[in-house]
């Protein structure tokens, strides 16, 4: 994520709003800063990832990152991410992968290929429920969610993968979510953690970085799309239910693991 502090505030909000008691630790990959000093802003709000220590966590989220246009092998800290995923699987820790995090994990674990989209998928779209036995429990068919990405995983590979269950897509078959059949792994491609103003912030950030470029404007988002005013928070229900369902599944996993140990 570009704005790490804003991202952390979003996740803290959506996780605590579920009503579950949560203790959240934010981590950064040290390999990302090899040969340079960790920015003070990053060091102030997060801790360095120490892979052997992840076994202390009840669950783990790997978030998105603004690098989905890069091939995986060009990501400087890809080996660290792979080692982290290996440890999460080894320790049987529930995993939630979001956007780029979902892309890199599904590629590493299940060989699902990534490709660039012709243009950025950017806006609020209805999503069809294909399987509601997981984290989509309680969500109505056609629920709304914000999508914001330049890349996508191979839809046909996901459908054909025997170890994956496709849960939801947009009407145009862009991925919303799928899950692993035999592991507690969830892959989310929409940014359900986004708050009301997140899409317009993302557009302005990109536009300010390269003012001479044309950028896609978020679709189906503004009450006044002509003037890009009055963003609508149409995914609030989906946000609440999805993260509540995830934390409920984490709590159940903790109970199950304790019973196994006893």
Catalytic residue numbers? 99, 191, 193
Alpha-carbon gap, residue 7 to 99, rounded angstroms: 13
- Residue 180's SS3 state is strand
- Cα 50 to the chain's mean position, in Å? 21
Whether 205 has a binding-site annotation, put simply, is: yes
Angle between helices 236-261 and 4-16 (to 10 degrees): 70
For the beta carbon of residue 79, count every other beta carbon within 10 angstroms. 12
**Contact by Cβ (8 Å): 27, 8:** no
Report the alpha-carbon distance of residue 53 to residue 102 in Å, rounded.
Answer: 22
Binding-site residues for substrate: 120, 205
Binding-site residues: 120, 205
């Amino acid at each position: 994520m570009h704005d790490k502090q804003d991202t952390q505030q979003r996740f803290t909000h959506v996780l605590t709003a579920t009503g579950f008691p949560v203790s959240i630790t934010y981590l950064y990959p040290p390999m990302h800063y090899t040969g340079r000093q960790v920015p003070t802003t990053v060091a102030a709000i997060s801790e360095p990832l120490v892979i052997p220590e992840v076994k202390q966590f009840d669950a783990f989220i790997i978030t998105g990152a603004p690098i989905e246009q890069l091939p995986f092998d060009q990501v400087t800290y890809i080996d660290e991410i792979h080692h982290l995923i290996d440890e999460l699987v080894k320790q049987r820790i529930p995993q939630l992968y979001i956007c780029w995090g979902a892309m890199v994990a599904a590629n590493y674990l299940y060989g699902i290929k990534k490709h660039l989209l012709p243009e950025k998928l950017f806006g609020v779209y209805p999503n069809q429920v294909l399987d509601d036995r997981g984290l989509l429990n309680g969500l109505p068919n056609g629920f709304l969610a914000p999508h914001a990405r330049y890349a996508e995983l191979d839809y046909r590979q996901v459908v054909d993968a025997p170890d994956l269950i496709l849960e939801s897509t947009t009407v145009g078959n862009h991925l919303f979510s799928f899950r692993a059949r035999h592991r507690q792994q969830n892959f989310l491609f929409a940014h359900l953690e986004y708050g009301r103003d997140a899409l317009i912030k993302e557009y302005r950030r990109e536009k300010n970085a390269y003012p001479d470029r044309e950028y896609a404007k978020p679709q189906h988002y503004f009450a006044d799309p002509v003037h890009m005013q009055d963003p609508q928070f149409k995914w609030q229900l989906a946000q609440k239910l999805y993260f509540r369902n995830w934390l409920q599944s984490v709590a159940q996993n903790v109970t199950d693991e304790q019973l196994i140990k006893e």
